[in-house]
């Protein structure tokens, strides 16, 4: 009887594999939105994007903190080659300040990074979300300029008060509608 239950459970998982979709909650066990891969709690915490000196081979949708220019930027193919298709998200005239945190390990590639939504990816990144139907929802923070007093360069959140993308460059918060 025990073997039958195990076989039945395995068959169920195999037959339903196409309908199962993994969702991850960070800081929460309650996923509230079925159209997202990655959902965050309502704690006053943000995502910190990598601090890099170069971003060769980056694909559209890549966010980084550029150590050389002291800005947070995103790669967008809509720029028709201007600035290498990078959009500056640090919306101020004062350069940001890099942080002193470092990764003691080597760089992460798509072959050994975390991929959500697929078994593999052609994109390079520490975290790659692969989907045509699900999205990343940023951590939601009310007034990040006051709530995240210890933020470091490259922090990104969604400001629930202004309903904007909030980006911190180590000196200033920039808000994008």
Q: What is the pLDDT of residues 27-62, one digit of tens each?
A: 777 777 777 777 777 778 788 888 888 887 788 888
pLDDT category, 12, cuts 50, 70, 90? very low
For 137, counting Cβ atoms within 10 Å of its Cβ (0-12 exposed, 13-18 middle, 19+ buried), the class is: middle
- Average pLDDT score, the chain: 77
Query: So what's the pLDDT on residue 162?
Result: 94
Does residue 90 come out as left (phi exceeding 0), alpha (psi in the -120 to 50 range) or beta? beta
Query: Nearest CA to 170 among 154, 156, 147, 146?
Result: 154
- pLDDT greater than 70 at residue 3: no
- pLDDT greater than 60 at residue 100: yes
Contact 89, 73 (CB under 8 A): yes
Query: So what's the pLDDT on residue 141?
Result: 92
86-88 and 127-129 as β-strands: parallel, antiparallel, unpaired? Answer: unpaired
């Amino acid at each position: 009887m025990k073997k039958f239950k195990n076989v039945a459970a395995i068959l169920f998982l195999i037959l339903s594999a196409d309908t199962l979709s993994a969702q991850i909650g960070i800081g929460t066990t309650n996923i509230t939105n079925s159209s997202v891969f990655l959902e965050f709690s309502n704690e006053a915490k943000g995502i910190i994007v990598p601090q890099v000196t170069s971003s060769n081979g980056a694909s559209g949708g890549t966010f980084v903190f550029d150590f050389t220019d002291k800005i947070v930027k995103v790669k967008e193919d809509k720029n028709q080659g201007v600035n290498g298709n990078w959009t500056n998200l640090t919306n101020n005239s004062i350069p940001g300040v890099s942080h002193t945190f470092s990764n003691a390990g080597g760089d992460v590639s798509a072959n050994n990074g975390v991929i959500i939504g697929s078994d593999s990816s052609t994109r390079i990144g520490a975290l790659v979300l692969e989907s045509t139907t699900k999205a990343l929802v940023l951590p939601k923070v009310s007034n990040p300029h006051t709530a995240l007093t210890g933020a470091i360069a490259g922090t990104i959140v969604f400001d629930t008060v202004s309903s904007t993308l909030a980006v911190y460059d180590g000196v200033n918060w920039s808000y994008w509608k």
